[in-house]
């Protein structure tokens, strides 16, 4: 054990280590607060000046994180856009986005930009951890060479790990502390230091043999979800053509106590992981001469769901002698999942786009998204409307896309003339169309 490792472990055990979290979004902010809540001095770094200002005012910009939680961490947690402050940190944790390019290839520009901003501030005795989802080899191929080119020796005077985030925003059953955390180090000493640090805020650490194993673990988790959602989305179309309710079938199958895990269909997939992460592996697999057909097929099925929903709306209106063009449509829920404000890659946006292209008059209601922000699919000048009896009755079709808890389902069912349900939450009956 090197003297650097001994000193680092003592700082961690004494909770004297300064932790810097780079990227204060849905992953970085709760992680930063978790470290502060157990007594570490925490510095949040983010290029978004608005986030920094809100943290200074103890105003949360994430729905499931309260202002009180920010206030409670007041003395131990601060935020800045000045990356020179990274010199003060013992541990640097990168939690920045890893999107796709328009050609559906990995975009590591945020990771690379963050490393470039930190590189001149790195020094012996520090730990660098990457949490952003990425392909196997990123930590060793993208992060390690520039660090060692500075004269730092990974495993001796510098420590490098990959530990993927596992946040599930707005899920009250799981918090940072209670979600087991996978970690792989570039060296054995890096693994020991990384486990010691994260073990201060996470109940169960899961070490793996390498950073590449940890990177693939994260991809497997999300690909598993993407493939199974693709399967039930395809079965939804089959069941519908047979006059069957796929949610009834899934719930019946879920009573089997072994060999089956229920997944539920919807208007597509969204969020920062499920629609994106599979393409990181398919891209890397091509370097090995492999074609991930199963994964790509699931992606095609899920990507086709918004068009399927619009087709169901069109057919339902046609049954009432009403064309899609010119129809007044109300969309319920623009966030990608229920009870959050996160709209990244939300399939609701694609449904909105397709309906507008078809000549519909579209409005939306979402208690978590009062005003439509600028998105990758464009800027929609829309604001959320309140759900009143008259408002619901004024639309030719009301389409449930995201089943927020705040929606009064009975009230909606009572006043909507035509209800298109993409989440299977309304019982079948006159005026209800499953999509």
DSSP string of 181-245? EEEEESSHHHHHHHHHHHTTT-S-EEE-S-HHHHHHHHHHHHHHHHHHHHHHHHHHHHHHHTT--
Radius of gyration of the chain (CA): 24
User: 359 CB contacts (<8 Å, ≥6 apart)?
Assistant: 324, 325, 326
- What is d(CA 246, CA 239) in angstroms, rounded to the nearest whole number? 6
User: 139 CB contacts (<8 Å, ≥6 apart)?
Assistant: 130, 160, 161, 162, 186, 211, 212, 215
Q: Determine whether 360 is an active site residue.
A: no
Query: According to the 3-state scheme, what is the secondary structure of 394-417?
Result: CCCEEEECCCCCCCCHHHHHHHCC
CA distances from 252 to 90, 245, 248 (A): 52, 11, 6
The DSSP bridge pattern shows strands 18-22 and 41-45 to be parallel
Tokens of 205: 């650490």
Tokens of 36: 């502060």
Of the residues 122, 273, 332, 343, which is catalytic?
273
- What is d(CA 151, CA 123) in angstroms, rounded to the nearest whole number? 9
- What is d(CA 326, CA 343) in angstroms, rounded to the nearest whole number? 26
Q: Which has the closest alpha carbon to 21: 51, 63, 59?
A: 51
Neighbours of 297 (CB within 10 A): 14
Residue with structure tokens 């592996």?
281
* Catalytic center residues: 273
């Amino acid at each position: 054990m090197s003297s650097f490792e001994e000193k680092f472990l003592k700082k961690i055990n004494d909770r004297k280590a300064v932790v810097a979290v780079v990227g204060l979004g849905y992953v970085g902010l709760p992680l930063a607060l978790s470290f502060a809540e157990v007594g570490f001095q925490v510095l949040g770094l983010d290029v978004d000046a608005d986030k920094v200002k809100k943290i200074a005012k103890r105003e949360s910009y994430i729905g499931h994180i309260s202002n009180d939680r920010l206030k409670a961490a007041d003395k131990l947690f601060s935020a800045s856009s000045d990356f020179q402050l990274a010199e003060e940190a013992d541990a640097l944790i990168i939690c920045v986005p890893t999107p796709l390019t328009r050609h559906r290839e990995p975009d590591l520009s945020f990771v690379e930009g963050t490393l470039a901003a930190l590189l001149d501030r790195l020094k012996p005795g520090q730990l660098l951890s990457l949490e952003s989802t990425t392909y196997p080899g990123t930590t060793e191929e993208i992060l390690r060479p520039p660090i060692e080119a500075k004269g730092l020796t990974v495993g001796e005077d510098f420590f490098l790990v990959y530990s993927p985030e596992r946040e599930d925003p707005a899920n009250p059953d799981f918090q940072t502390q209670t979600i087991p955390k996978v970690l792989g180090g570039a060296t054995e000493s890096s693994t020991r230091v990384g486990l010691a640090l994260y073990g201060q805020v996470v109940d169960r650490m899961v070490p793996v043999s390498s950073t590449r194993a940890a990177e693939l673990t994260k991809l497997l988790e999300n690909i598993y979800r993407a493939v199974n959602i693709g399967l039930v989305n395809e079965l939804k179309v089959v069941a519908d053509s047979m006059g069957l309710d796929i949610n009834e079938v899934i719930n019946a199958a879920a009573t089997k106590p072994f060999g089956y895990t229920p997944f539920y269909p919807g208007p597509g997939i969204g969020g920062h992981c499920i629609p994106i992460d599979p393409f990181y592996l398919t891209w890397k697999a091509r370097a090995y001469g492999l074609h991930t057909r199963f994964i790509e097929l699931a992606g095609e099925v899920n990507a086709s769901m918004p068009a399927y929903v619009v087709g169901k709306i069109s057919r339902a209106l046609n049954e009432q002698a009403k064309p899609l063009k010119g129809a007044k449509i109300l969309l319920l829920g623009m966030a990608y999942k229920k009870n959050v404000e996160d709209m990244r890659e939300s399939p609701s946006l694609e449904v909105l786009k397709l309906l507008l292209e078809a000549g519909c008059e579209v409005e939306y209601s979402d208690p978590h998204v009062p005003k439509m922000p600028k998105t990758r699919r464009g800027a929609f000048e829309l604001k959320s409307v309140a759900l009143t009896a008259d408002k619901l009755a004024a639309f030719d079709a009301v389409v449930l896309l995201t089943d927020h808890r705040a929606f009064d389902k009975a009230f909606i069912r009572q006043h909507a003339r035509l209800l298109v349900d993409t989440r299977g939450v309304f019982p079948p009956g006159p005026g209800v169309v499953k999509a």
